[in-house]
Amino acid sequence: MKSNYLFDYKFKKWGWLFFIPSFILGVLFPANSMWKVPVISLFHKSGFGSKTKDGLLRIFENEINDEVAMIGVIIGVVLIALSKEKVEDEYIAQTRLNSLLWTLYFYYGLFLFTILFIYDDNFMMVLFYGHFVFLIFFLMKFRYTLYKNKKQIGDEE
């Protein structure tokens, strides 16, 4: 029995609708107090000079631009990367698998590099953005491979 866990092709459009505005929001307004709302924190550690107390399950005001942007980017990239193509055949499935494997090797090689040569807050930023980078690298590799092979087939005809 052949199982296919990919989303339908129409979800790719929804992915772009989530990704583009969320990416712009995250890049242009990363720490802007545009949306400051009360939020629930499960594990709260207050910073120096903060009026909130440490502990479990605290409610405090927080700027949620970065959370909204990250959720939108994650939903968008997942929908784009994991949606079927218009024509989903064995070649596309094999290209998808090869691209995913290449991305896995590349991503963890890059991760090992950062463990060895990047420290402190910069390392935390790498961990923060690394969740997005994996699927973005996958999309770039997958699309490039499809483009390269389509161009090669067109040159042969």
Mean pLDDT by 10 residues, the chain (157 residues): 79 95 84 76 66 69 84 93 91 93 94 91 83 89 92 71
Task: Tell me what pLDDT residue 148 has.
Answer: 92
Domain boundary among 84, 118, 140: 84
Q: With the CA atoms of 46, 52, 54 and 60 taken in that order, what torsion angle do they form, in degrees rounded to the nearest 10?
A: -90
Task: Examine the domain organization and report whether 15 and 64 are in the same domain.
Answer: yes
pLDDT at 1: 42
User: What is the predicted pLDDT for the residue at 32?
Assistant: 65
So what's the pLDDT on residue 145? Answer: 94
Based on the fold, state whether residues 40 and 64 are members of the same structural domain.
Answer: yes
**Looking at the structure, do residues 49 and 95 belong to the same domain, yes or no?**
no
Sign of the alpha-carbon torsion through 25, 28, 31, 37: negative
Same domain as 91, residue 79: no
Residue 124 and residue 95 share a domain: yes
My answer on whether 108 and 141 are in the same domain is yes
| Structural contact between residues 37 and 64, judged by C-beta atoms closer than 8 angstroms | yes
State which amino acid sits at residue 76. Answer: G
Domain extent, residue 147, equals 86-157
Q: Would you state the pLDDT for residue 40?
A: 82
- Read out DSSP for 75-102? HHHHHHHTBPPSS--HHHHHHHHHHHHH
What was the pLDDT predicted at 121?
85
